[in-house]
Structure 1
Amino acid sequence: MTTETKPALADEVKAAQRAAADAGIVQLDFVKAPADEVRAANLRFQHFLNEGGPQPAVETATVAAEPPVPLRLYKPDGPGPHPVYLHIHGGGFAQGTLETLDRVKREIASEAGIAVVGLEYALAPEHPYPAAPRQVAAVAAWLSSDGAAHGLDPQRMAIGGDSAGAHLALQQLLADRAAGLGRFRAAALVYAMLSDRHDSPSHRDFGDGSYGLTTARLAWFWSRYLPDAALRRQVLDDLAAADLAGLPPVLLIAAALDPLLDDTLALEPRLAAAGNPVELTIYEGMPHGFLNQTRLLDGARSARDQIVGFLRRTLL
């Protein structure tokens, strides 16, 4: 792709970037700054993005795991038991807290009439693979065994996530299927981070930093989450070759200006060929991470509404 034909971010994304800069928000890069500084800057950005929005009832819980997993349960109005959407946040396995996508989760709970569960999994490099997938598995088991005591309906559950969270959600779906479990009726995977092979057209076209997320940062994430190169190859090759038959309906959302776009484009035909109902939408002019900005972006609000509609169709 030449400079002359390089696509531009949507005007509303540029306006959102200016609004964040005017608010003093500075985003740092793991490749260039210490992890604690990057995480602190990201948390400030999350607080900025989370301002406003609906205020559903919120409950907290902790799931026994190693280390324990804090949960935040967002409850819709009305009596339970409520259907459940378990959302796993992104951040390259290296950043994110319960505050990540807090506003989005509040909006989904309020608009879908579904309980949304967010979790704070342990981060790499301090807690590399398999800490995070083991924690997700513990949360899925907790929802099945203890969810009813918290007003949740374990018979009507969906799972999803964005970026690294979408990776963890897909892994959990495959683990459930291997164990003969059918806990999740649907999955919403948003700009999934699935491969460390960074020679794809979307990395070539969008991974240089012009659109935010970089190929270099993704390489850093993988090297910290799966530092053993042989194990990384095994885990990711197994995922790339996995039989996807027997999964529930899947909603795929991608950003058109994202180095991870081809990860989603490769997943969609595999799901369809395996016989799974699958929907794919690519949001033009949007960069990686746009869903988090429902306060600022019409594109993010459209993607959120799509998730709401999908969850209502599959869980209610």
Structure 2
Amino acid sequence: MRKFSRFLAAFFGVLLMLYTVVGQLLALTPVPWMSWILAAGFFQTVFIAIDTLRDTLGIYNLVIALIALALIFRTVRPRRWRPEGLSRRRTIVAGLAGFGAVASVITMIVVSVGVASAGAGFAFFTPPTPGGDLGRGPDQRVVTGTVGATTLHADLYRPDGAGPHPVVVFVHGGAFVAGAPGPNPYNRFLADHGYAVLDVEFRLASATVHNWDTQVGDVGCALTWLTRNAQPNGFDTSRVVMFGESSGGNLAINAAYMSVTKSLTPTCGTAAEIPKVVAVVGGYPAVDLTQAYADSAIGKTVGMQFVGGSPEDFPERYRYVDAANHITAQSPPTLIVQGGADHLVLAKSVKRFAGKLSAAGVPNRYVELPALGHGIGDTSSPGTAGAKTMRDAIVKWLDRYVPRTS
């Protein structure tokens, strides 16, 4: 029985140690150093999964590291507390466990400094608890339009009061092939801060359906619904904000910029019904699919499914979906929050996009959070460092460009 308990302690100790060490190395190692690994789809997928778990757990990674250290030292139990009292194998394992604990502290310090630099305050002990309350669900499920045989829906979150209220149109992520409207750390939060929120649905791409030219039009469909339903719902369509994350960030930014240049063709309603978009928010947005195709295995898969092939095969399609090609001096003020250790949407491309906004004279703010990966930990928890930063940045940005009182 004693041997079995020691075996279990060793097994779980090594497992937790490996997660800790790999997770902290992914957070602290510059992403460009790993470009050759990102070309392998399996490893990129594993990296993103570990990033997501690590960023969601936050301070609890240190707890896991300490548990791993305790389990391993329970197994090692050296006769003498000297290096020669341990075998080389056990010394290495114990050393890695110690490294994981130290690296966890370093990562939390780096993240906390990044959050503080972004103006969101102290964030070392985040999240307070794993997971967290996303708030009450939507107040109403609405039909925004019908496209062919497909009925498009959206979740509506209402603020208190009669309005008229500014409106945030949220576009979910999912690599253009997955995802749906649903609770997140921002919808109810923004409604509680005086903004109506419309979390929209669009038709997804697949291995056989390459809707690179109509997904943004489906978002445009939801925009026309706002105009047609403004009065009974208390919407102020002169104060509309686009907000999207990951692939949804691409669609939100493109819809906003194209609405200004009158090049957005909605798949329902009419172009004349598209309201004025006065601000944009992108969370780790996939703004450069051409570069993403070259950067990683998943980038290639996204290009094949959403666009239908490579940039060499379809240059005109990539010109259409790459957000920088829709920048004009009239583009709405744009806030971008990006993880510095993102192994899917690489920070270098997003930062380059922000530079193009500045060159065009578009008011913008680019916030890069070091040691956080794709999703910055906000995919399911409102209490993480990334969600805390995004919430703070959004409220400040909207207060500046989309005041809650008309």
TM-score (norm 1): 0.75
The aligned residue for residue 108 of structure 1 is 190
Q: Are 2:257 and 2:332, in contact at CA under 8 Å, matched by a contact in 1? A: no
2:132–2:381 CA contact under 8 A, matched in 1: no
Give deviations 1:16-42, integer Å, cap 9, x for gaps: 5989xx9xxxxxxxxxxxxxxxxxxxx
Question: 2:397 pairs with 294, 310, 316, which one?
Answer: 310
- Other-structure match for 2:357: 271
Among candidates 52, 57, 66, match of residue 15 of structure 1:
57
Q: Which runs of 5+ in 1 are unaligned?
A: 23-48, 204-214
Superposition pairs of residues 159-170 of structure 1, within 5 angstroms: 159-170=242-253
Structure 1 contact 189–250 (Cα < 8 Å) conserved? yes
The residue number in structure 2 matching 1:6 is 29
Distance 1:14 1:56, change over 3 A: closer
Q: Considering only aligned residues, what root-mean-square deviation do their CA atoms show, in Å?
A: 3.2
Taking the TM superposition and a 5 Å limit, the aligned residue runs for 1:176-215 are 176-179=259-262, 183-198=276-291, 203=295, 215=296
Residue 301 (1) aligns with residue 388 (2): yes
| Corresponding position of 1:281 | 367
> Which ranges in structure 2 are unaligned for 5 or more consecutive residues?
1-24, 32-50, 65-129, 264-273
Please tell me whether residue 250 in structure 1 is matched to residue 334 in structure 2: yes
Give the Å deviation of 1:169: 1.3
Match of 1:124 among 205, 214, 230: 205
AA aligned opposite 1:75: R
Aligned to 1:234: 316
Cα distance in 2 for partners of 1:231, 1:143 equals 37
Bigger mean CA deviation after superposition, 82-91 or 169-178: 169-178
Return the offset for 1:165. 0.8
Does the 8 Å CA contact 2:293/2:300 hold for their aligned counterparts?
no
Query: Is 2:348 the partner of 1:262?
Result: yes
- Structure 2 length normalisation: TM-score? 0.60
C-alpha separation in 1, matches of 2:222 and 2:352: 28
SS at match of 2:146: coil
Q: Provide, for residues 225-252 of structure 1, a one-character-per-residue CA deviation record: whole Å limited to 9, x for no partner.
A: 1114467421323534444221111111
Instruction: Give the Cα separation in 1 of the matches to 2:395 and 2:180.
Output: 22
Partner Cα separation in structure 1 for residue 293 and residue 301 of structure 2: 17
Conserved 8 A contact 2:258-2:326? no
Structure 1 pair 119/243, CA: closer, same or farther in 2 (3 Å)? closer
Aligned equivalent of 1:79? 162
Aligned-pair distance for 1:264?
A: 1.2
SS at match of 2:365: strand
Q: Shift of the alpha carbon at 1:195?
A: 2.3
The residue number in structure 2 matching 1:175 is 258
CA deviation after TM superposition for structure 1 residue 178, in Å: 2.1
SS at match of 1:65: strand
Counterparts of 1:8-157 in structure 2, within 5 Å, are: 13=55, 15=57, 52-55=133-136, 58-66=139-147, 67-99=150-182, 101-110=183-192, 112-125=193-206, 127-129=209-211, 130-157=213-240
Q: Distance in 1 between matches of 2:331 and 2:275?
A: 9
Cα distance in 2 between the residues matched to 1:200 and 1:145: 38
Residue-by-residue CA offset, 1:186-238 (whole Å, 9 max, x unaligned)? 0001111122344799x5xxxxxxxxxxx222221221111144674213235
Task: State the Cα distance separating 1:299 from its structure 2 match.
Answer: 2.4
- Is the alpha carbon distance of 1:81 and 1:159 closer, same or farther for their aligned partners in structure 2, counting shifts above 3 Å? same
User: How far apart in 1 are the matches of 2:326 and 2:214?
Assistant: 21
Structure with higher helix content: 2
Identity among equivalent positions (%) equals: 22
Change (3 A) 1:221 1:275: same
The 3 A distance-change label for structure 1 pair 183 and 225 is same
Quick one: which amino acid aligns to residue 171 of structure 2? I
C-alpha distance in 2 between matches for 1:225 and 1:200: 11
Note closer, same or farther for the CA distance 1:53–1:245 as it changes in structure 2 (3 Å cut). same
Query: Shift in Å at residue 282 of structure 1?
Result: 0.4
The residue type equivalent to 1:122 in the other structure is R
* Mapped pair 1:222 → 2:300: no
CA distance in 2, matches of 1:228, 1:6: 31
Which of these two proteins has the greater Rg computed from alpha carbons?
2
